[in-house]
Each structure stands twice: as structure tokens, then as C-alpha cells.
Structure 1
Amino acid sequence: MRILYASHWFLPYSLAIVNALAKNHEVCLVTTHRALRSVDPDRARELLDPAIRVEIEPDTRERQTQPPGYYVASLRSLRRLIREFRPDVVHVQETTDPMLAWVWLRALSGTSLPLVVTVHDPEPHLGDTHKFWWVRQRMIQSIRRRADQVVALAEYNRQALLAMHEFLTPDRVGLAYHPVMEFYREFVPPEAKRRPGTILFFGRMVKYKGLDTLIEAWETIRASNPDARLIVAGRGPDLPQYLPVLEADDRVEVYATFLPNGEVARLFTEAEVVVLPYREATQSGVLATALAFGSACVTTDVGGLGEMVEQGKSALLVPPGDPKAVADAVLSVLEDGTLRERLEAGARGRAAGPLSGAQVAAQLEEIYQRAISAKSQAN
């Protein structure tokens, strides 16, 4: 099978998938300089299977939207690539840039190519909307409507998509879980090791991530465990209001900046527990990274997060917006070595099994076949 796979933004999600697909299929990866920077521009090619053909779209801005000329040039190059590569199926990762949806719709117009679209977030997260969000939603709806198969990253998301769009039927929405992000392990510093008492809160600092819940829980954790220390790493609009409190605490470390892969790998290696006190979620790259490192996790049971782990085996699940439950769960992991070892072993099992790149690629292969079959019957 010839697979044209597009990942314009966050390439770490796609690395394990395309590498696994390349073992049995001919894969062409369409990506951007910005996406390559999210991996490591100097090492990106060595992290990809050498059999994968890589086509790089020349984006010029760090933010997702690009100058108008970029989309015109991208449309031309994609049409050329489709003629040259002659894919059996096209797989596009949905992004927040509505113009990319337009580009792909135009590139595929006049063809009978099966289209598969992965939806990472069926709807905007709490705190993620802006005044022009309706434009994005209109374009995103158009590409979802055109897709022969839509991929959801959790059953929760699958049901949300079916409820949102009357034009989607159950046979058109497939399930392929978020794979663990093993590639970060390539960057672990040799001196990095688990640091007792270390709690990690990592990622984009936006309202739905529940930083306020964690700060309230931290008061209890701090008072109960003298060895506990908290690391808050990431940037975003929700962080500045909490910085004075966090920076005043000598047992809290704050990294309010973009971190290179080596630093990300160090933090996850050192953390004794990774905490995700989210108010809502669809899936989580942070959880996928923590599982790749075999980390003990405490996460709220919201959205698709509970599907990525097993309660009491690979993570502890707590209700959202409950600082006491978060504090109790974190303390139990820090203070019960047997529990912590069980969760770490369970995390490694999830990473090697149902959330591995190979397993997710197998799920996608079935979805591709359904898309090809549906398009063939329609034609």
C-alpha cells in the first residue's frame, strides 16, 4: 500500500506510526520545518525509517498560520506529489490552521483518492477558543465531511464526533489510540535518574489543564511529605497568574519556557510521579510521554484519558476538580514503593502493548482498508 501521510504540525505524535507503517508499506511523509523542529531538525531524519520518503513544506512562521503565498505554493506541490507518488490512501492530521484543510480539499478535488483524517480534538478545549474560531470550525467540518474515514484517538472522542456531525456514521469513524512517544527516550542525558519525591506537571499551560487544582493539592502534599518537590514545566496563558505563588516556594521549580528534547527527557526520567489534574481532555501527549518513560501517573478520569491507562495498574485515576483526591493519590505513589513499582510496570506494559506505534499502525491499516473499500464502492 502507498500511504501519503501528512503531519504539518506536531511530528512527535506521528514518528512511531510512520516508522511502523514503513515496515510493510511505502510511506511518503509530508511535513514542515516547524514540525521537524518539534522533533529535532538535526536528528529528525535519523529518527525516521530510511525507507520513508520525506517532503518538507517550506513554512516561514513559527505560528501555525502562514502567509497567503505559502498555501498557494503548498497546493501546487501537493498536486505534483499526488501525481508522482500515486498514493492508495491519503492520511491527514487535523490542525488548528483552517487554510491547511482548504489546501488538502483543493489538492484532492478531481481525484478519487480515499481520504483519512485524524481528529485530535473534536471540539476546542476550555480556554482555547478565539473570536475567529468559527472560521476554523467551518473548514474543519468541510474536511471531516469529505473524509472516507475519520480517526478518533479514544472511544470518548469517537462518540463525540458522531454526536457532533450528522453526516458521520459509525462505520466512517474508526478508533486508533494515541501512541506513546518513545522518541523522547533517545534524548535522555546519561546522568538522569529517578529523583525521590519529584512530582512533574508538564505541558501547555491553559485553563483546562487544571494547574489551579494542582496548586491547591500541593499545599497538602507539601505539608505531608517533607521530601516532595514540584516541577512545573511549560508555557501558556494560564501560567502568569500563578507564577508569584509558585516562584515563592523553595520546593517548586518552574520552567516557564520551551524546553529542548534533552530537558524534556530529563524531567520525565527524574519524576517519581507525573500528575495530570485536567478539567477536561480528549487524549494527552503528556500522558503518552509519561507512559513511554514508565512513569507512575496520577490523572483525572476525563475524556479519553481513562482509556489510555488501567486504574490501579498503570495509573491512578481521580475525579476532576478535586484537589484532595489529587493530593491523596500523589502521596500514595510517593510513599508506597510497591504501588509505585506496580504503576511503573503497568506503564511500560501499555507502552509496549496497546499504545505502541506498531499496535496503532495496525489499527490504522484496518482503517485505510475500509477507506479504500468505501471509495471503490462509491466509484
Structure 2
Amino acid sequence: MADLIVQQSFPEPRPTTNPYLVMLRDSIRELPGVELRTFSWRGALLRRFDVFHVHWPEILVSGQSPVKKLVRQGLTLILVGKLAVTRTPIVRTMHNLDLPQGISRRERWLLALIERRTTLRIRLNPLTPLPADAAFETIVHGHYRGWYAPYARAARVPDRLAYVGLVRRYKGVDALVATFRKAFAGTGASLTIGGKPSNDELVEQLHSLAAGDRRIDLHLAFLTDAELVAAITASELVVLPYREMHNSGGALSALSLDRPVLVPSNEVNGMLADEVGQQWVQRYEGDLTPAALEAALAAVKSIPEADRPDLSHREWDDAGHAHVAAYRRAIALLRGRRRR
């Protein structure tokens, strides 16, 4: 019988669910004495549990229609009230630094309420800023090697660059396409873009930027895991030109498939390079330029075919144990049995 019941904020996974959540679920469920429940409103509101773990709290208060959104916001308020009455801690993973753009005042108020009620925060890297008095644990994002193992790898195509992942404005995919067109004159270089864009305007812009350049292949749709593995492994270098970059599952996806990445130069990415090997994490200063693309591609050609980045600090067994320890600490903190 479980002595710790964990209620997660995500529902039972579907094919499109972020693999991070699925691997987290599985790593915790494998531990003795722990019951992990995926989210439903009925279960969250009516059943007893020991800790509530929320990942992207904005999902709780959003909806596909005004009526559905309003209902969810009311249910969220009831849930937070239940957690307060039952002295059930909220543990929150800090995936993003900022609130989503374009949300209403009511959504901001509810998210602030969840923030005030949070007992312990989990950060994915040691540079995530936190309130001065916040209790926290640092549990790094696990790798994807086991997740991608069932899928066939493609043969590496010389001089191929790739961007793979959700296509969002802040991820700089438009800048990548424009910069690539100016680079690699007279070479056989190519660029693959694969992923679902956030809106039709971005689709039109990317098609316009790539028009007439046969070196650029756009696959602007959701990628299955098999398609993602094929796109990454066919490349020599995965380029992630995010305008803001703090935690990147995309970088870990590429590294898990033994492909180097080119990312903006910042402290977080410098730490990642120190961890996995400098040659695997190429970096550029300022805006992405043709020279940065050319230099990074030249640099990664010296990586031996059999080499792999060091992901030994990102095992999911370790992450599962660390999360359970964090849950138990949150319970103790809320019930006054331990100091921060």
C-alpha cells in the first residue's frame, strides 16, 4: 500500500504529450510505496492525496472556449481551496521564467494565487531565479535516450542542418531560415525545419523566407517521435536559435540522439557544454549570423562518429528518487516538521 500519493497536474498521456512528463510519471511509479495519479478534475477535487505537483499552471485556467475557460477557472479556485483546507502542499516545476503572454487579469490572479500557495519549487537548472525565501530543489531534466531507442536512425547527411520542435516566434526559426540563405555559398549544405507552428502567419512567413531555395525543406506539422528521430539523426548539426533560452528539451533531444547543437551563448548553455562536452554545444554571441552557422558546422565535423555526449547526470532513475524526496520535504515543510 502506498504511503505517498502524488497527484500530477497533467492528464493521462497521449501521443502528443511532452515525453518529459511521461518519463517522469514512469520513473516515479517504479518506486515502492508511491502512488502517482494523472490529472482529472474529478480525481483532483474528490480524492485524497498527499501532494499536488503542477508543471504549467496556466493550463489549469485556460480553455478552448470562453465557457470552458470560466468553468476551469472556477474549478481551479475550488481546488486551491481544497489544498489549503487539507494542508496539501503544491510542488511546482519551474519550466518557464515568465507568465504566458496575452492572458487575462483573472488568469493572472489565479496563477498568482497558485504561486502564493506553492510550498516547494523544483528548478531544472541551478540558474533559475526564485523568490528569496522559497524552498526549492534542483532536479535536472532527464535525457531521452531510452525514449528514442525504439526508433530507426537515419544516415547522417553531410552539411545538413536541422531545426526540430514546436515552431514559435521566440524560437527564432525565421531568423534561421533567413541566415541560412546567406550562408554556405557554393556548397551542398541543406536545412530541414520540422515542427508545428503556433499560427498561420508564421507558416506564411517561413514559406516566404524559404521560397526559391531548394536547399531548405519545410515540414511545418507535428512530428511523430519516429519523424523527429529521423530528422535529427539525418543532420550534422541541430540549430536552436532561440531569442530566449533557459531550459531546452530540444537541445536534450538532439544530444540524446548524439547530434551536436548550436545555441545562443548564455550561462545556462555554458553549463550544459561543461557537463556534456564542449564540442557538443556550439554557441554564438548576439544575433545568429552566416559566419556562426559556418563555424559551428565546421567545428562539429571533427567529432568522431562513435562519440557520445556525457548525459550520465541525467538518468531518470535519479530524477524519480529526487522528486519523491522533494515531495516528502514539501509535506514536512507545510506541516511544520522541518525548517527551510
Give the TM interval when normalised to the shorter protein: 0.7 to 0.9
What does residue 67 of structure 2 align with? Answer: none
Candidates 325, 329, 332, aligned match of 1:370: 329
The structure richer in helix per residue is 1
Matches within 5 A, 1:79-228: 79-82=45-48, 87-97=49-59, 98=61, 99=73, 101-102=76-77, 104-124=79-99, 129-130=101-102, 132-157=103-128, 159=129, 161-162=130-131, 169-170=133-134, 172-182=135-145, 184-189=147-152, 192-223=154-185, 226-228=187-189
What does residue 67 of structure 1 align with? Answer: none
Please give the root-mean-square deviation of Cα atoms over the aligned residues, in Å: 2.8
Candidates 292, 310, 332, aligned match of 2:256: 292
The yes-or-no answer on 1:28 pairing with 2:36 is: yes
Matches within 5 A, 1:300-315: 300-302=264-266, 304-310=268-274, 312-315=278-281
Residue 249 of structure 1: SS of its match in structure 2? coil
Task: Provide the C-alpha distance between the structure 2 equivalents of 1:291 and 1:254, rounded to a whole number of angstroms.
Answer: 22
Contact 1:3/1:89 (<8 A) preserved:
yes
Contact 2:165/2:250 (<8 A) preserved:
yes
Instruction: State how many pairs are aligned.
Output: 312
For residues 192-211 of structure 1, what are the alpha-carbon distances to aligned partners after superposition, in whole Å with 9 as ceiling and x for unaligned?
33222221112222221112
Candidates 312, 315, 318, aligned match of 1:359: 318
> After TM superposition, where is structure 1 displaced by more than 6 Å over at least 4 residues in a row?
none
Residue 20 of structure 1: SS of its match in structure 2? helix
What does residue 236 of structure 1 align with? Answer: 198
For residues 140-165 of structure 1, what are the alpha-carbon distances to aligned partners after superposition, in whole Å with 9 as ceiling and x for unaligned?
221121111011222232x1x32xxx
Contact 2:123/2:136 (<8 A) preserved:
yes
Contact 2:272/2:281 (<8 A) preserved:
no
What does residue 261 of structure 1 align with? Answer: 225
Change in CA separation of 1:218 and 1:307 when aligned onto 2, cut-off 3 Å = same
For residues 301-321 of structure 1, what are the alpha-carbon distances to aligned partners after superposition, in whole Å with 9 as ceiling and x for unaligned?
347444444362431122242
CA shift for structure 1 position 187: 4.8
Task: Provide the C-alpha distance between the structure 2 equivalents of 1:378 and 1:320, rounded to a whole number of angstroms.
Answer: 48
Candidates 5, 10, 21, aligned match of 1:14: 21
Residue 117 of structure 1: SS of its match in structure 2? strand
Contact 1:277/1:326 (<8 A) preserved:
no
In structure 2, give the amino acid aligned to 1:203: G
TM-score (norm: length of structure 2)? 0.80
CA shift for structure 1 position 243: 1.1
In structure 2, give the amino acid aligned to 1:217: T
For residues 296-353 of structure 1, what are the alpha-carbon distances to aligned partners after superposition, in whole Å with 9 as ceiling and x for unaligned?
111113474444443624311222423145313432245x3x33659x522xx22xx2
Change in CA separation of 1:134 and 1:239 when aligned onto 2, cut-off 3 Å = farther
Task: Provide the C-alpha distance between the structure 2 equivalents of 1:103 and 1:291, rounded to a whole number of angstroms.
Answer: 42
The unaligned stretches of length 5 or more in structure 1 are 32-56, 58-73, 163-167
What does residue 317 of structure 1 align with? Answer: 283
Contact 1:154/1:176 (<8 A) preserved:
yes
In structure 2, give the amino acid aligned to 1:147: T
Change in CA separation of 1:271 and 1:356 when aligned onto 2, cut-off 3 Å = farther
Contact 2:238/2:259 (<8 A) preserved:
yes
In structure 2, give the amino acid aligned to 1:230: L
What does residue 278 of structure 1 align with? Answer: 242
CA shift for structure 1 position 215: 2.5
Task: Provide the C-alpha distance between the structure 1 equivalents of 2:295 and 2:142, rounded to a whole number of angstroms.
Answer: 25
The yes-or-no answer on 1:246 pairing with 2:210 is: yes
CA shift for structure 1 position 101: 4.8
Q: Percent identity?
A: 20
CA shift for structure 1 position 252: 0.9
Residue 336 of structure 2: SS of its match in structure 1? helix
Contact 2:89/2:119 (<8 A) preserved:
yes
CA shift for structure 1 position 254: 0.4
CA shift for structure 1 position 377: 1.0
Task: Provide the C-alpha distance between the structure 2 equivalents of 1:217 and 1:333, rounded to a whole number of angstroms.
Answer: 18
Residue 92 of structure 2: SS of its match in structure 1? strand
TM-score (norm: length of structure 1)? 0.73
Task: Provide the C-alpha distance between the structure 2 equivalents of 1:340 and 1:221, rounded to a whole number of angstroms.
Answer: 25
In structure 1, give the amino acid aligned to 2:46: R
Change in CA separation of 1:370 and 1:217 when aligned onto 2, cut-off 3 Å = same
The yes-or-no answer on 1:326 pairing with 2:298 is: no
